[in-house]
Amino acid sequence: MATLRFRHTPALHLFADMRNLLGVPNTLNVLTAYSLLLAGVPGLVLCLYGSRCFGVSLRWEASGWFLFYDGNVVAAFGSAYYHLKPDDDRLIWDRLPVPEHYFLAVIFSSIVYSFLFVLAWFSGF
């Protein structure tokens, strides 16, 4: 790699619930990671097939939401992968989707603010 490896304290990878159910280590941590799929998969389906049903008229708007829900799905699998066997090498897969979500939140809030400002300006507020 081009950068130095950053080691975390081993206590970072110790979880409160370390039970193994059905042979899956840290079962509840892994299963809660998949809760992100409950929002991600339906969101992706709606972005791809349901834009007319939900009033998304602009294609860039649907593609922005697609990236957001895609981040949820990636975060679910990355977090589950990390929680199966937590160590420093797998930690990146748990944290990788977080900057994407923050970036998209800033971009979308800026766009919404711009639209609201223009509407307020032209309506006389």
Residue 71 is part of which domain span?
A: 24-98
For residue 51, tell me if it sits in a domain.
yes
Q: Is the dihedral of CA 34, 74, 84, 95 positive or negative?
A: negative
pTM for the full predicted model: 0.68
Per-residue pLDDT, 69: 85
pLDDT greater at residue 37 or residue 91: 37
Residue 117 lies in a domain: no
- Asked whether residue 44 is domain-assigned, the answer is yes
Q: Look at residue 104 and tell me if it is in a domain.
A: no
Looking at the domain assignment, is residue 76 inside a domain? yes
80: in domain = yes
Among residues 88, 78, 51, which one has the least CA distance to residue 66?
A: 51
User: Which amino acid would we find at residue 19?
Assistant: R
The total number of structural domains in the chain stands at: 1
Question: pLDDT tens digits for 7-30?
Answer: 777 666 677 677 778 888 888 888
Question: Is residue 106 assigned to a domain?
Answer: no
| 112: in domain | no
Residues 79-103: tens digit of each pLDDT = 889 888 888 888 888 888 878 777 8
Q: 21 in helix, strand or coil? A: strand
**pLDDT of amino acid 17:** 73
Q: Between 120 and 53, name the one with better pLDDT.
A: 120
Q: What are the structure tokens assigned to 6, written together?
A: 């950053």
